[in-house]
């Protein structure tokens, strides 16, 4: 499920030939029991755009008793192979209409705090660090795949941004990525608290 047509088109392209996948246009406000019952709900770099409390309350009506919500995200460790990333972010920042709320709001509340106050309060974190090959065309497509610098957001500025990325980052050939998952299980599996007297 995604509200952006470009993101749904990219997902369909990546899933070509895979059966039993349904693509739904909609936002977190369209989540409801009519979509079905689920053992696991996965979000990839999207939770921060949602009304997180409302989303978790909606998922509480859809996720099975032994189920969980998993938030996937990636980050770039501060290693020499990632030095180009600051330039890439700076280029995108000059073109995007607005950055994510967590990037600008000093009072941003981390996902963990929101989850701990929800029905999904048993948290586990998993991650892997790896070196990957990357080229400038991948960086162009990555920028265009993001909601804030998608073609529909950039409009006439898109070609200028693409040209700047290509000219500035033509020699990029690798990156180091840490991919992480924060899995939030239903808290009804926790042992009952013990009162001390």
What integer pLDDT is reported at residue 104 of this predicted model?
A: 58
Q: What is the mean pLDDT of residues 185-191?
A: 70
Q: What percent of the chain has pLDDT over 70?
A: 91
Mean confidence (pLDDT) of the chain = 89
- Residue 194 inside a domain? The answer is no
- Residue 22 inside a domain? The answer is yes
pLDDT of residue 196 exceeding 50, the answer is no
Distance CA 82, CA 129 (A): 13
pLDDT of residue 150 exceeding 90, the answer is no
Distance CA 173, CA 176 (A): 11
DSSP per residue, 36-79: --EEEEEEES-GGGS-HHHHHHHHHTTEEEEEEEEEEEEE--S-
Of 172, 98, 106, 178, the closest CA to residue 139 belongs to 172
Domain count, the chain: 1
Summarize pLDDT for 98-107 with one digit per residue, the tens.
655 545 577 8
pLDDT of residue 188 exceeding 80, the answer is no
Output DSSP code: residue 109. P
- Residue 55 inside a domain? The answer is yes
Q: What is the mean pLDDT of residues 13-20?
A: 90
Distance CA 121, CA 112 (A): 9
Torsion of the alpha carbons at 150, 153, 156 and 161, rounded to the nearest 10 = -50
Q: Tell me how many degrees the CA angle 19-23-26 measures, rounded to the nearest 5.
A: 165
Q: What is the mean pLDDT of residues 160-185?
A: 97
- Residue 181 inside a domain? The answer is yes
pLDDT of residue 192 exceeding 60, the answer is no
Q: What is the mean pLDDT of residues 108-131?
A: 96
Distance CA 88, CA 84 (A): 6
Instruction: Give me the CATH number covering residue 29.
Output: 3.40.50.150
Strands (E), the chain: 38-44, 63-75, 122-133, 174-185
pLDDT of residue 184 exceeding 50, the answer is yes
Range of the domain at 25: 5-189
- Residue 26 inside a domain? The answer is yes
What integer pLDDT is reported at residue 171 of this predicted model?
A: 96
- Residue 196 inside a domain? The answer is no
What integer pLDDT is reported at residue 194 of this predicted model?
A: 40
Q: What is the mean pLDDT of residues 124-148?
A: 93
Summarize pLDDT for 54-71 with one digit per residue, the tens.
999 999 999 999 999 999
- Residue 92 inside a domain? The answer is yes
- Residue 197 inside a domain? The answer is no
């Amino acid at each position: 499920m995604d509200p952006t047509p470009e993101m749904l088109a990219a997902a369909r392209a990546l899933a070509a030939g895979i059966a039993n996948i349904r693509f739904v246009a909609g936002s977190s406000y369209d989540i409801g029991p009519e979509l079905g019952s689920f053992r696991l709900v996965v979000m990839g770099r999207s939770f921060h755009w949602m009304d997180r409390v409302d989303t978790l309350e909606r998922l509480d009506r859809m996720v099975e008793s032994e189920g969980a919500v998993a938030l996937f995200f990636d980050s770039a460790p501060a290693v020499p192979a990632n030095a180009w990333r600051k330039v890439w972010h700076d280029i995108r920042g000059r073109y995007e209409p607005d950055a994510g709320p967590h990037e600008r709001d000093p009072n941003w509340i981390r996902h963990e705090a929101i989850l701990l106050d929800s029905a999904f309060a048993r948290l586990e974190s998993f991650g892997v660090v790896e070196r990957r090959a990357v080229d400038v065309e991948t960086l162009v497509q990555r920028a265009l795949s993001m909601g804030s610098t998608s073609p529909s957001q950039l409009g006439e500025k898109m070609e200028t941004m693409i040209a700047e990325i290509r000219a500035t980052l033509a020699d990029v050939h690798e990156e180091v990525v840490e991919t992480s998952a924060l899995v939030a299980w239903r808290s009804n599996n926790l042992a009952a608290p013990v009162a001390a007297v």
